[in-house]
Amino acid sequence: MFSKRVDSIKPFIVMEILERALEMEEDGVDIVHMEIGEPDFDTPARIVDGCLSDIKSGKTHYTHSLGYLELREKISDYKFQTRETRFNPKTQIMVMGGTSPAFFNILSTLLNPGDEVLITDPGYPCYANFVSFFGGKPVFVPIHEENEFDLDITSLEKAITQKTKALIINSPSNPTGQIIPEKTLDKLADLVKKHDFWIISDEIYSELTYDGIIAPSLSDKKFERCHHRLIILDGFSKYWAMTGWRLGYIIAPPDLINKMTPVQQNFSICAPSISQAAAVHALDCEEETLEMLRIYKDRRAFIVKRLNEIKGISCLEPKGAFYIFANIQKLKISSMEFAWQLLEKAHVAICPGISFGPNGEGFVRFSYPTDIENIKEGMVRLEKFIQEVL
């Protein structure tokens, strides 16, 4: 009765935890939410006010399937400022209703049944579901805490076969918060030249870094030798606190954009015009975004210090995004059991590491885009839970 394709989609565990936490809140339980990767900040007023003016002026109709040219030109300018690479706004940029629909378009265009896609383990769990949905085969490449969760190029190359169509990377990473360094990107660019596969680079957190420098990217000018096989996914959800606006974009070679355009026209028509209008203003909000980043940095400093003070838990300091991937191996409990018990008994919602891949077992993810007082309370409850329950 139902599509076999749907059976390839596994539940999104973080959403199951969130939904249980919300049920508990409905029953009057006070929950500290550290499971969802969503900024707690409202969208900056300059974006909202600018969008309201655009709505009143009539920007409420279908747009070009690639998006407003004004927005594509601003994205092109922004990437030139940050990457020193000029992408053609008319032939290389497609605006989408979020980066998840962007994955839908990319993989539906690239994959044939049986094609293999390399994915880091641990890594964002939806990637494997996306690949499986289109008949592809996810191939997991382990990354390890002792290497700061960086890609091991030797292991990666061993995983490449004649069926390898693409590699998905995410830097800064969800769930680890780590950044792929330039030296690794340089080796990746050489692998692309050698084996001729696509790299899909999810850069939704690229501005969310804590040393004053945007995360390095294969879109940087120094890596031009691989741009013919490079697909960049980016958007406005995280850095600009616009999750509900659902707006992302793809940067890719013109021939791939041409192939993806009919998919966009048939399945989406275009990204929401109102959200596109808002995004034009977002790229002018440097002052607001830097203030949010400063607050994230303070939260990061607190939670890293606090977690490393709790017996049985340790963590690396994340270089970007807003996640802590904490090691709980000394506690001798599975990450799934730990997360569910912490929710039910201590009323703190986090995400088990196993949900990010087999190599994530022994870890749990804390998301810290929440008020510092919530983080402090969460750490008190966590420490008490470990001391009294485990």
Domains of the chain (ranges; CATH) run: 4-43+287-385 (3.90.1150.10), 61-285 (3.40.640.10)
pLDDT tens column, 41-70: 999 999 999 999 999 999 999 999 999 999
Residue 389, pLDDT score: 85
Could you give the C-alpha distances from 175 to 12, 153, 170, 171, in angstroms and in order?
A: 14, 20, 10, 10
Average pLDDT score over residue span 226-255: 97
Write out the DSSP string of 146-211. GGTT---HHHHHHH--TTEEEEEEESS-TTT-----HHHHHHHHHHHHHH--EEEEE-TTTT-BSS
Instruction: Look at residue 348 in the predicted model and tell me its pLDDT.
Output: 98
Q: Residue 37 — very low, low, confident or very high, per pLDDT cuts 50/70/90?
A: very high
Please state the pTM of the whole predicted model: 0.96
CA angle 118, 123, 126 (to 5 degrees): 85
**What is residue 2's predicted lDDT score, i.e. its pLDDT?**
85
Alpha-carbon torsion (48, 50, 52, 55), positive or negative = negative
Confidence of residue 178 (pLDDT cuts 50, 70, 90): very high
pLDDT of 1 = 75
Query: Residue 36's pLDDT band (boundaries 50, 70, 90)?
Result: very high
Residues 6+ apart with CB under 8 A from 165: 110, 111, 112, 115, 116, 117, 136, 197, 198
- At 136 the pLDDT is 96
Per-residue tokens: 44: 């900056």
Tokens of 5: 């394709």
Only one residue has tokens 């969503």, namely: 38
Write the pLDDT tens digit of every residue in 320-372.
999 999 999 999 999 999 999 999 999 999 999 999 999 999 999 999 999 99
Instruction: Express each pLDDT in 212-232 by its tens digit.
Output: 899 999 999 999 999 999 999
Mean pLDDT computed over every residue of the chain? 96
Mean pLDDT of 264-287: 96
> What does the pLDDT average to over 145-170?
97
Query: Which tokens sit at 230?
Result: 């490079």
pLDDT above 90 for 127 = yes
User: What is the structure's pLDDT at 4?
Assistant: 82
| Token output for 321 | 């995004």
Closest C-alpha among 187, 115, 192, 202 to residue 151: 187
**pLDDT score of 8 more than 80:** no
User: Sorting pLDDT into bands at 50, 70 and 90, what band is 3?
Assistant: confident
pLDDT at 390: 81
Tell me the average pLDDT across 159-183: 98
Q: What is the mean predicted confidence (pLDDT) over 183-211?
A: 97
Confidence of residue 18 (pLDDT cuts 50, 70, 90): very high
At residue 108, the 3 state secondary structure works out as helix
Q: Which residue's structure tokens are 């977002």?
A: 282
Q: What are phi and psi of 250, to 5 degrees?
A: -115, 135
The 10s digit of each residue's pLDDT in 282-312 is 999 999 999 999 999 999 999 999 999 999 9
pLDDT at 169: 98
